[in-house]
Amino acid sequence: MNSDALRKFLDGSPWMASLTLAQAERVQRETLVRSFETGAMVCARGTPSAHWVGVVHGMLKVETITAGGKSASFIGVPSGAWVGEGAVIKGELRPYDVVAIRDSVVAFMPRATFQWLMQDSHPFSAWLIGQLNARLGHFIAMVQSLRLNNTKAQVAYCLASLFNPDLYPGTTRQLDISQEEIGRLSGVSRQIANRALHEMQDAGILRIGYGSIEVLDLAALQEIAGGA
């Protein structure tokens, strides 16, 4: 495909800068790129974890679907982010589905490349520990948000994490995401997500667009998410 877009994406990945030239070249050479339309399955639950997954453009989500057909979304993955390292490290089958919630371009780093990088590059391993630690913190904060029993806080936390520059350095102020998906990721219905978004828009915290959200005051968002 377009190796230019891939190169640009890889160069923007925070761990890339600390690699040697030879390491960077191997990553560039062995990483694949594929496009997905909205709703398409990127990785299916139960299949081998053959790749580490990076979002070049668009947005993915991680979810499971129960036997009854209900889905539970766990995390949104905006462009610039990588996901799925847990299953790759463990060598297990994919525990969850990864689905595109926007038309997306996705990078696939083969498991062998990933493991070699982990062995060969101390800075990469260090970055990876930070990544896993950040994700752990994310889920702990999510439990806290759930404990508050406050749907507005859940929606705020969902957005605050998607727009968190520490978690997702590539993220901009504005994200293309529907209210339907915000609801799914927040664990509330679309109607409640809609109401919470309007309350926050009225408070000047964000701006609602058609299929998009622009955050104006990330600090205020985090304040609500933390239980104000």
Partner DNA sequence: ACATTAACGATGA
Partner DNA sequence: TCATCGTTAATGT
Question: Do residues 77 and 62 make contact, with C-beta atoms less than 8 angstroms apart?
Answer: yes
Q: Please select the residue that binds DNA; options are 30, 178, 199, 207, rule is CB under 7 A.
A: 178
Nearer to DNA by Cβ, of 21 and 67: the residue is: 67
- Distance (Å, rounded) from C-alpha 125 to C-alpha 49? 19
Question: Do residues 90 and 179 make contact, with C-beta atoms less than 8 angstroms apart?
Answer: no
Q: Counting contacts by CB under 7 A, is residue 64 touching DNA?
A: no
Nearest to residue 5, comparing CAs of 40, 55, 51, 52? Answer: 55
- Distance (Å, rounded) from C-alpha 46 to C-alpha 181? 23
Q: Counting contacts by CB under 7 A, is residue 208 touching DNA?
A: yes
Q: Please select the residue that binds DNA; options are 48, 212, 217, 227, rule is CB under 7 A.
A: 212
Q: Please select the residue that binds DNA; options are 58, 78, 84, 187, rule is CB under 7 A.
A: 187
Binding residues among 138-177 for DNA as defined by CB under 7 A? 150-151
Q: Please select the residue that binds DNA; options are 76, 179, 206, 224, rule is CB under 7 A.
A: 179
Q: Counting contacts by CB under 7 A, is residue 73 touching DNA?
A: no
Place of tokens 């520490």: 166
Phi and psi, residue 71, nearest 5°: -115, 145
E strand or H helix at 100, and its extent? Answer: strand 97-100
Binding residues among 25-54 for DNA as defined by CB under 7 A? 38
Q: Counting contacts by CB under 7 A, is residue 197 touching DNA?
A: yes
Q: Rule CB under 7 A: which residues touch DNA? A: 38, 150-151, 178-180, 187-192, 194-195, 197-198, 208-212
